[in-house]
Amino acid sequence: MNDKQLEACCYTDGPLLILAGAGSGKTRVITHKIAYLIDELGVNPYNILAITFTNKAAKEMRERVDNLVSYGAEYIWVSTFHSMCVRILRRHIDKIGGTKDFTIYDTDEQKIVIKEVLKFLNLDPKMYPERAMISAISNAKEKYMSPDDYERENATSFRDQQIAKVYREYQKRLKSNNALDFDDLIYQTIYLFETNPDVLAQYQDRFQYIMVDEYQDTNHTQFILVKQLAAKHRNLCVVGDDDQSIYKFRGANIYNILNFENEYKDAKVVKLEQNYRSTANILNAANAVIAHNEGRKDKTLWTEKEDGEKITFTRYDNEREEGRGIASKIKTIKNKGKSLDEIAILYRTNAQSRALEEQLIYENIPYKVYGSQNFYGRKEVRDILGYLKILVNPSDDQSLKRIINVPKRGIGDTTVDKLSTFAYSNNINLYDALLDIEEVPGMSRNVEKIGKFTEIIESLKAMLSPEYTLEELYDELLDKSGYIDALRAEGTDEAKARMENLEELKTKIVNYEETAENPNLTELLEEIALVADVDAEEDEDNPTAKVTLMTLHSAKGLEFPYVFIAGMEERLFPSGMSMDSDDPDALEEERRLCYVGITRAMEKLYLSAAVTRMMYGNTNYTEDSRFIKEIPSHYLERDGREAYSSSGSQTGKFAGGLGSGRLPGDVGGRGIVKPRIQHVNYYNQSTNPSANPGFGKAFPMGGQAASKDEFKVGDKVRHLKFGNGVVTDVVDTPGDKEITVDFERVGVKTMYASMVKMKKL
């Protein structure tokens, strides 16, 4: 061990804060500290408690402790917060009115109880969705708020008063069922200790030495619980890194670690700053970025490793080119004899994986999505594709069964089974049975519900005509089905992620429409099926090496020799929500997330951004992420669209135009609209956009993009999406022309001549 690790191991009396930077060997310090207590100081293993967050981390720590401690290791409590609380409550819950054979409810069981509560209180589940209620109750418990506390805290909000009633009735039913949910495990343990000082004293005497890993991720109740247990002997050692606090959305409170020295005035602080993972260039870049945060402890990572390769930053034309470029670089790495298992692609939002996955599939590069499903396997994507499949093939009974009650319409499984039996007996498909619902025996109570459903499907089928674009059909589907409204009402972080994925599916549809010679829904579904139908089976004896795809949040705790971070753009990373937030910590947490991403790389880091990115069906210009600007230029090498700028100046930066994520003048939210505020020449070798590989490929018209010299004022034109219009203005700009058209259907649009998908009439 190095000097600082040894110092942390040997300090045993009183509070200790170990600030462990990324890759600094913190788990090694915790386990060796336990061994030191037992072997050198003669501490009884029975008196040691080590707490971590995940079962995987607890298992790893247990194995390391068992290998280091030859005698008595089995008496050390190495556990997660929740498993520790279960053990305590199994012994003592009778003291607070429970019984020791209590059941622990998972999310599905919670939803069943909430559903009963909403029915009992006569509350509309569309106004008070089950998931939203579970989330609100969980947040209250993490703040150690009872139903009465919650009601008092939110006295001026009618909705929150209703939630307080749901919370109260939910707890009443849990108690009658002799059940606890996961938040109760910690909440009730704190309550047990508060109301039974003798029980608390028993555990204080037992746990004379307490170690808590990942302390920056603790929430309020976990902080209270640790404080209770350590109050007597005060031999509390917490290990963490405030620069890696990225789970505020899960309730993590960074101030638990930032204020540790205020809570324990005599606390010793040891900084572990030597990194054993990454090269010097990677660490220096990470240090430079995180230094811009104000709410942090001062520390700087360093390494004895060589400088290594510079970080590569590439600015691509669009997200498709970004995916293609990353795939190309991965093939180069593989051709050098490296395994795909050594490579990870990280991104800010799950929705970004779609463009990346498709390019990896096209290049025949095996991959796995860590902690999530492949894009086209995600529930919300499969649900909406199910609707689209029914529109072109009403005989698809499996797709129909998937979406008939999604979102919930009161059409249960029993009803669907009866309809399926009727359809089979009469040699018709299920959808035909729905259309003839009045003729189906025993369905009188369901006629209205099913009638409304088929009305939605029939109205959408009517849009399968040249008068409507697939984009318009998609928007109408999300609206009429009620799917988006249901997600909005849920209001959880998971629901927001699902909405982002549905917006990304829209991007796929718009991209398809802009590239297809004769866009139609059948061909679109075929294209998606070919991309989505990746053989998931793998020979267990000969597993295939795969590139790992994951969000930046999922990457914490992992490391890879080669790391790609895609989408380094303002309003994507950092997120627009964090930029618009009143919370001063929101942007700092995004920067901590960037720090985590950078420090996952061991040997080589690739960063990338796109000049234009289609989001929510709209193509927007982007500005490089502020995190790119915060990396000193001597740690970066730029290629692609960035290579022309030796000064490292940022392209795509328009004054006042990007705050909303839409370009100035893009009133209708469609098309590619160029701002008039500032013109920037993006092109490296030529002012002709078509001279740049990959540029303009997505905008064919009859096989070729329209010439930029083709249009003049007064020309009557037809745009694929916007319909008929008249050219009202043509303006020369550096390397291009702006064409302004007054469309009959959508009004005035200003577009690039080189990119517009339009022809003269």
Q: Which residue is it, tokens 């289609």? A: 614
CB-based contact 394:575 (threshold 8 Å): no
CA–CA dist 409, 416 (Å, integer): 12
Which among 558, 596, 561 is positioned nearest to 60, based on CA atoms?
A: 558
CB-based contact 245:217 (threshold 8 Å): yes
Which residues share a beta bridge with 49? Answer: 77, 210
Cβ neighbours for 332, distance < 8 A, ≥ 6 positions apart: none
Active-site pick, 600, 626, 670, 757? 600
Active-site pick, 181, 213, 471, 588? 213
Sign of CA dihedral 356, 361, 363, 365: positive
CB-based contact 611:568 (threshold 8 Å): no
> Is 379 considered catalytic here?
no
CA–CA dist 722, 746 (Å, integer): 6
Active-site pick, 52, 204, 216, 244? 244
Write out the two tokens for 568: 């380094």
Q: Give the start-end residues of each E strand in 253-335.
A: 268-272, 311-316
> Is 266 considered catalytic here?
no
**How many alpha carbons lie under 13 Å from residue 556 in its C-beta half-sphere?**
22
Residue 12's Cβ-count burial label (10 Å; 0-12, 13-18, 19+) is middle
Which whole-number Å values give the CA distances from 236 to 1, 27, 209, 331, 364, in the listed order? 22, 16, 6, 49, 52
Angle between helices 81-92 and 220-230 (to 10 degrees): 60
CA–CA dist 681, 689 (Å, integer): 10
> Is 728 considered catalytic here?
no
> Is 600 considered catalytic here?
yes
Active-site pick, 130, 142, 183, 214? 214
Active-site pick, 7, 12, 27, 637? 27
- What's the DSSP call for residue 236? E
Other C-beta atoms closer than 10 Å to the C-beta of 579 total: 15
**Residues marked as catalytic:** 26-27, 213-214, 244, 600
